Amino acid sequence: MKSGLGNETMNEGTDVDIIDHTIWNGNYVFNMATGTTNFAGESFKGFENAIMGNGSDTVTGNAANNSIKGGAGADVLKVLTATIRSMVKTGMTPLSAGWVKIS
């Protein structure tokens, strides 16, 4: 599903769902565990995967197996699982739980 600009509420079901935030190119904060963002009036709950815009985004994952694709900005990811893998330009880099900054 694609997010837009302005107040929105999206609640997804039990399937694997992707939220696409590429319409917004400014800095964006998205907490996948709570569904909240840095904009009042937005709520995106139940998503397992996210595609972010070109700002310097901060994304917190949830308990699902998340796939988070950042844009051109210096993104910060908060992961909740013990081991994740991240695509960094070419190749895979193993990461551990906690805050990860990829630039």
For residue range 69-78, what is the model confidence (pLDDT) as tens digits?
Answer: 888 888 888 8
Look at residue 72 in the predicted model and tell me its pLDDT.
82
For residue range 19-58, what is the model confidence (pLDDT) as tens digits?
Answer: 888 988 889 999 999 999 999 899 999 999 999 898 999 9
CB 99 within 8 A of CB 77: yes
Reported pTM: 0.76
Domain ranges of the chain: 8-102
Q: How far apart are CA 8 and CA 62, in angstroms?
A: 20
Q: How far apart are CA 50 and CA 63, in angstroms?
A: 14
CB 68 within 8 A of CB 49: yes
